Chain A
Amino acid sequence: ETGVTQSPTHLIKTRGQQVTLRCSSQSGHNTVSWYQQALGQGPQFIFQYYREEENGRGNFPPRFSGLQFPNYSSELNVNALELDDSALYLCASSLEAFGANVLTFGAGSRLTVL
């Protein structure tokens, strides 16, 4: 059983640029959630995708967008990067989209915005 894999693991961008982060969900999981974890903070929910549709969104501006593909993998896109977007971006997959499902996290993509 493969776990959640994310790419890239590290990247550096400059303010105003755009970034795409990728996530492959754990085998058998149909739901993907994205979290942002700033240094010294807990992860914050960005949004969740289920059946290729956004199914819940946290308090993040529209420049944070996502996609889910038929194979349940997902992308997180961030436009017009700001310095405060520097963080660890965690992807988590779960068996279902509803209820308190156990989340399996990937190792994350560490984004630095200069």
Chain B
Amino acid sequence: RKEVEQDPGPFNVPEGATVAFNCTYSNSASQSFFWYRQDCRKEPKLLMSVYSSGNEDGRFTAQLNRASQYISLLIRDSKLSDSATYLCVAHTGTASKLTFGTGTRLQVTL
């Protein structure tokens, strides 16, 4: 079983739609969580950190449920520029080692 699991998609949504991605992690010792965004053939870039209290950055909302070992990302009012792969990421241990999910591909269309 993979440490971080995501639905690979693709999710095809029209512009303006709201879309939600889910992710589960298996290592209960994981301490911190992130969403990274990766455009086609580019490097991953940090989108946002994920906190138990939930956090919002503009149209993006991330949520962590430690009891269920579940992380979510909600994107409201999708834009064409949101088309990318969204990587769910867990940090475990003392070294700065990140465990990435396979990624969920989002395609926003006109």
- Residue numbers of A with Cβ under 8 A of B are 31, 33, 35, 40-45, 48, 55-56, 58, 90, 94, 96-103, 105-108
With A42-B87, A43-B44 known as contacts, the answer to whether A103 contacts B96 (CB < 8 A) is: yes
* Contact between A42 and B101, CB atoms less than 8 A apart: yes
Contacts of B103 in A (CB 8 A): 41-42
Give chain B interface residues in 21-45, CB to chain A under 8 Å.
31-32, 34, 42-45
With A100-B32, A100-B91, A107-B43 known as contacts, the answer to whether A41 contacts B96 (CB < 8 A) is: no
- Residue numbers of B with Cβ under 8 A of A are 4, 8, 31-32, 34, 42-46, 87, 91, 93-103
B46 to chain A, nearest CB (A): 6
User: Given A43-B98, A45-B97, A98-B94, 10 more contacts at CB 8 Å?
Assistant: A43-B87, A44-B100, A48-B95, A55-B95, A56-B97, A99-B91, A100-B32, A103-B98, A105-B44, A107-B42
Q: Which of B43, B93, B100 contacts A56 (CB under 8 A)?
A: B93
Cα-based distance from A33 to B8 in the complex (angstroms): 25
B90 to chain A, nearest CB (A): 9
With A42-B87, A105-B43, A107-B43 known as contacts, the answer to whether A58 contacts B102 (CB < 8 A) is: no
* Contact between A45 and B44, CB atoms less than 8 A apart: no
Cα-based distance from A40 to B10 in the complex (angstroms): 12
Contacts of A58 in B (CB 8 A): 97
Cα-based distance from A46 to B42 in the complex (angstroms): 19
* Contact between A97 and B95, CB atoms less than 8 A apart: yes
Cα-based distance from A11 to B32 in the complex (angstroms): 35
Cα-based distance from A102 to B99 in the complex (angstroms): 13
